[in-house]
Structure 1
Amino acid sequence: MKVLITGKNGQLGWELVNRASTDDVDVYAFASDELDITDSLSVQEKFSAVQPDVVINTAAYTAVDRAESDSENAFLVNEQGAINLAQACKKFNARLLHVSTDFVFDGTKHSPYLTTDTPNPLGVYGASKLAGERGIQNVLPEAVIVRTAWVYSSHGNNFVKTMLRLMQEKPQLGVVSDQIGTPTYAAGLADWLWQISSNSRVQGLYHWTDAGVASWYDFAVAIQELALEKGMLEKEIPVRPIYAAQYPTPAKRPAFSVIDKTGAENDSGLQTTHWRKQLSNMLDKLANV
Structure 2
Amino acid sequence: MKILVTGYGGQLGYDVVKECELHGIDVKGCGRKELDITKKESVFSLVDSYKPDAIIHCAAYTAVDKAEDDKENCWNVNVEGTKYLAEAAKKQNAKFVYISTDYVFNGKGENPFTEEDYPEPIGYYGLTKYEGEKIVQSLIEKYFILRISWVFGINGNNFIKTMLRLSESRNELNVVGDQIGSPTYTVDLAKLIVELIKTDKYGIYHATNEGNTSWAEFAGEIFKQADRKMLVNSISTEEYPTRASRPKNSRLSKQKLVENGFTPLPSWQDALARFLVQLKSSSIRDEVQ
> Same fold by TM-score, threshold 0.5 exceeded?
yes
| Shift of residue 171, structure 1, vs aligned partner | 2.5
Distance 2:261 2:189 in 1: 12
Paired residue secondary structure (1:220): helix
AA partner of residue 243 (structure 1): S
Q: Is 2:179 the counterpart of 1:179? A: yes
Q: Match for residue 249 of structure 1?
A: 242
Any conservation in 2 of the 1:265–1:272 contact (CA below 8 Å)?
no
Q: Match for residue 267 of structure 1?
A: 260
Any conservation in 2 of the 1:195–1:268 contact (CA below 8 Å)?
no
Distance 1:283 1:205 in 2: 30
Q: Is 2:226 the counterpart of 1:227? A: yes
| Shift of residue 22, structure 1, vs aligned partner | 4.5
274, 278, 285: which one aligns with 2:271: 278
Structure 1 gaps, min length 5:
none
Q: Match for residue 137 of structure 1?
A: 137
Any conservation in 1 of the 2:143–2:203 contact (CA below 8 Å)?
yes
Distance 1:268 1:189 in 2: 16
Q: Deviations over 1:174-201 (max 9, x none)?
A: 10001000111111111100111121x2
Q: Match for residue 34 of structure 1?
A: 34
| Shift of residue 266, structure 1, vs aligned partner | 3.2
Q: Match for residue 213 of structure 2?
A: 214
AA partner of residue 281 (structure 1): R
Any conservation in 1 of the 2:206–2:254 contact (CA below 8 Å)?
yes
The ranges of structure 1 where at least 4 consecutive aligned residues each deviate by more than 6 angstroms after the TM superposition are: none
Paired residue secondary structure (1:288): helix
Structure-2-length-normalised TM-score: 0.95
Structure 2 gaps, min length 5:
283-289
| Shift of residue 112, structure 1, vs aligned partner | 0.6
1:5-20 equivalences in 2 (<5 Å): 5-20=5-20
Q: Match for residue 56 of structure 2?
A: 56
1:153-172 equivalences in 2 (<5 Å): 153-172=153-172
Paired residue secondary structure (2:258): helix
Paired residue secondary structure (1:156): coil
| Shift of residue 109, structure 1, vs aligned partner | 2.5
Structure-1-length-normalised TM-score: 0.95
AA partner of residue 17 (structure 2): V
Distance 1:92 1:81 in 2: 17
Greater displacement, 178-187 / 140-149: 140-149
Any conservation in 1 of the 2:94–2:142 contact (CA below 8 Å)?
no
Paired residue secondary structure (2:145): strand
Distance 1:29 1:155 in 2: 14
| Shift of residue 19, structure 1, vs aligned partner | 1.8
Q: How many residues align?
A: 282
Q: Match for residue 43 of structure 2?
A: 43
Q: Is 2:112 the counterpart of 1:119? A: no
